[in-house]
Amino acid sequence: MILCSWTAPSAASSPALYAQITPAVIAAMEPTLVLTPPRYDTRLTYLNAFRERLDEVVARDYMAGLAVAVIDQGELVMVYTGGEVAVGSGDPVTDRTLFRAASVSKGMTGTLMALLEHEGRLSLNESVPRELLPLPHGRSATATQILAQRTGLVPHALDRQMESGVALYDLRNRFRTQRAVCRPGTCYSYQNVTFTSLETLGAQAAGLPFEQAMRAWMFERVGMPDATIGVDDLITAESWARPHRRRERVGGLPVAGDPESAYDTTVSAAGVNVSLRDMIAYAQAHLGISGRLPQAVIQRVHASQGDTPEQTRRLYRLSERINSTGYGLGWRTYDWNGRQLLTHSGYLSGYGAQIYLEPATGFAYVGLWNADGDAPWWLFPTLMDLRTGDGPGDWIDQLDE
């Protein structure tokens, strides 16, 4: 197995340096990551080509920083960081730099709730009190249905009102007047604001405010030393990535903007901040490598609660790879040419985040970046083509940027 750490060039850095992580370096790292000494493995030659694609992406003028890791056969085989926390800052992205996880937070909320259920503190199959989520027609939904995006509401219900600053209490009262597209549990309909009903439920079960419950029950158990919640904790970190937006330009180049987002009010749906090191630990826990999550919790969270044909249709560029999609407890499920993948992506203006797992082979990909460009989103299909031989890995080449 090749275990390497790469630093890609940025506008303010010297040419990239590629250094193998030695056993001594591994021994000095915090024990939150499951690492093994490097050894050569011919199965991993695809990483050399993938590294070149990472260099290409991080060099694009709309990019600021990028952090990526790959796990294969249960072992961490690549850690890549490139660019800067803000263009021109001279501060490089590291594996400890905080990015916004955005909707990847949903799977973390699902993990927290499944842990609380595993400890007998709540049942995810019981209806959530209507004062927390008053659905139209007098209906109610279970926590499982909320986590699995099966509340029956019109997609993205009340997102625009939340983005315009309507208070959470008022938003909850408006659910009863929203349009329903099906009965709870009978169809997929992606939501953000509905997740906030789980915050009260989770806090009551844990006996802690929701943010503290997330830290104690999720971050600490999984081994995520840098993870925080909300913009206030983000901007006080020693290293944090500034949002990099193409629409905010000076002299033709994007500039770093304000990281605050309306989605900070939906902590459970989009409020977590993570470093690459956190995401590696999160992936290892969900692959069962680190032993930090009970297998029953992993299975509970990953199990699809139903197909998501709308999502499958939206992935039109990947139609030759993805046969079907589903949704578990904050996790998407993909049939990728017969390979069963678990995934979720997250986007907030100026940020992107992704995680993909293939539990059967102990494989994971995690990516974090601060940019609004398209290229980072196509790194995973590129990696899969290079790894499996299913295609030429030219997804990034097809972009018009």
Helix (H), strand (E), coil (C) string for 50-68? HHHHHHHHHCCCCCCEEEE
Mean pLDDT value across residues 329-351: 97
Bridge partners of 270? Answer: none
Mean pLDDT value across residues 104-109: 98
3-state secondary structure of 351: strand
CATH 3.40.710.10 residue spans of the chain:
4-97+229-260+270-388
Q: Provide the CA 300 distance to its chain's centre, in angstroms.
A: 18
pLDDT digits (tens, 9 = 90+) for 228-269: 999 999 999 999 999 998 665 544 444 456 788 889 899 999
Report the C-alpha gap between 114 and 135 in whole angstroms.
Answer: 23
* Six token digits for residue 190: 């992606």
Q: Which of 163, 350, 400, 369 is nearest to 247 (CA)?
A: 350
206 has a pLDDT exceeding 70: yes
- Looking at every residue in the chain, the average pLDDT score rounds to 88
Relative to beta strand 4-8, strand 75-83 is parallel
57 has a pLDDT exceeding 70: yes
The share of the chain scoring above pLDDT 90, in percent, equals 77
**DSSP code of 263?**
G
* Six token digits for residue 148: 């699995």
Bridge partners of 339? Answer: 336
Amino acid identity, residue 138? G
State the CB neighbour count (10 A cutoff) for residue 310. Answer: 13
12 has a pLDDT exceeding 50: no
CATH superfamily label, 4-97+229-260+270-388:
DD-peptidase/beta-lactamase superfamily (3.40.710.10)
Where are any strands of DSSP class E within 157-230? Answer: 228-229
pLDDT digits (tens, 9 = 90+) for 391-400: 999 999 988 6
* Six token digits for residue 265: 């009010």
4 has a pLDDT exceeding 60: no
Mean pLDDT value across residues 161-190: 93
**Half-sphere exposure for 115 (CA within 13 Å, toward CB):** 24
Mean pLDDT value across residues 98-112: 98
70 has a pLDDT exceeding 70: yes
3-state secondary structure of 133: coil
347 has a pLDDT exceeding 80: yes
Q: Which of 49, 105, 46, 95 is nearest to 69 (CA)?
A: 95
27 has a pLDDT exceeding 80: no
Bridge partners of 180? Answer: 153
What confidence score (pLDDT) does residue 398 get?
Answer: 87
What confidence score (pLDDT) does residue 120 get?
Answer: 98
pLDDT-derived band of residue 28, with 50, 70 and 90 as boundaries?
very low
Mean pLDDT value across residues 172-179: 93
* Six token digits for residue 115: 């842990």
Q: Is 49 exposed, middle or buried (0-12, 13-18, 19+ CB in 10 A)?
A: middle
